[in-house]
Amino acid sequence: MQRNNNFLKYTLSLVFIFTIAFLYFQMKTADQVRTEKNEFLLDIPTENQEIEEIIPRYPIPDISENEIDRKNLISLPPIGESDEYLRMELVNVMLADISQTIAKTTLVEKIVATIDNIPRSYMAERMRPIQIKPSSFVVEAQGNLSGFILSEENYDRYDYLVNALDSIDVNKLADIYLRFYPLLQEAYQDLGYPDAYFNDRLIDVIDHLLATPEVNDPIILHRPNILFEFVHPELESLSSGQKLLIRTGKRHSSRIKQFIKEFRALIS
């Protein structure tokens, strides 16, 4: 009888222990499932969850305060109807001769595309906002040596453009840029950069041009195919914008750099 009581006691004890263990395991499993579920839910963005805004590295200055005293300003038209308005503004700050070369169609898009392509290896002429055909590229033979030298006469081809640049009031040009910036931003996004800021790109391009090395004469060229190329690989590997700046000559390139440096300070 005593043995039966002991057996019953042991049996009840084991049942109690297994019951407690089972309940503990179930509670832990439920907690783990809830935790994993919560962690899983945290990774899923909700409809009301705010998307993190991309902050521009170089925000454009706010011009709203200055517009109070400028009641003659018109509202910006849609980008597809903006050519005449932007062209009219640019004509007012440029020499008459140079203003005649400003593109008459898709002007905003051409400005954006050209600036975006300056640090690249190629700039499409058809997308340039100013259509000017300078005189022929001028080179000189190196005497008995192979190859060519970039002639100083070649720099004269750019006198007209650089003199026109000097005639532009950089403050007025910056003002036009800031007022038309929403359209430039729209064109930049349409170009394939929906989450980027055009002003950031422009500042980067200006800094890229300012970093163009100064090259002393003579600049040696060769002609492996149809086009002339710099003999020195470090020059030939430069972007299309930097090579163009070098081809204008040190005298012109220093004036161009000074202008874009002043412009940079007004838009950043």
> Residue 90 falls within a domain, yes or no?
yes
What's the confidence (pLDDT) of residue 230?
94
The more confident residue out of 135 and 169 is 169
Amino acid at 65: E
pLDDT of residue 217: 87
**How many folded domains does the chain comprise?**
1
pLDDT for 27 = 42
| 124-133, 168-177, 236-245: least confident range | 124-133
Return phi, psi of residue 128, to 5°: -75, 135
Span of 73-87, 139-153, 253-267 with lowest mean pLDDT: 139-153
pLDDT value of residue 48: 52
Give a yes or no: residue 26 inside a domain: no
> What's the confidence (pLDDT) of residue 3?
44
State how far the alpha carbon of 19 is from the alpha carbons of 15, 26, 30, 225, in Å.
6, 11, 16, 89
What's the confidence (pLDDT) of residue 63?
67
Domain of residue 190, residue span: 64-267
Q: Is residue 184 part of a domain?
A: yes
Q: Is the pLDDT of residue 30 over 70?
A: no
- What pLDDT does 71 receive? 55
Do the domain assignments include residue 50? no
The token pair at 225 is 């195919």
Task: Give a yes or no: residue 195 inside a domain.
Answer: yes
Q: Does 13 map to a domain?
A: no
Lowest mean pLDDT among 63-67, 82-86, 150-154, 215-219: 63-67
How many whole angstroms separate alpha carbon 5 and alpha carbon 147?
A: 114
Q: Using CA atoms, how far apart are residues 119 and 268, in angstroms rounded to an integer?
A: 20
Torsion sign over Cα 235, 236, 237, 239: positive
CA distance linking residue 234 with residue 135, whole number of Å: 27
- How far is it, in rounded angstroms, from Cα 159 to Cα 165? 10
pLDDT for the residue numbered 72: 60
Q: How far is the C-alpha of 132 from the C-alpha of 61, rounded, in Å?
A: 32
Is residue 133 situated within a structural domain? yes
Q: What is the pLDDT of residue 79?
A: 97
Q: 156 in a domain, yes or no?
A: yes
pLDDT single digits (tens) 47-102: 554 555 778 999 998 865 455 455 566 689 999 999 999 999 999 999 888 888 89
Residue 245 has pLDDT above 80, yes or no: yes
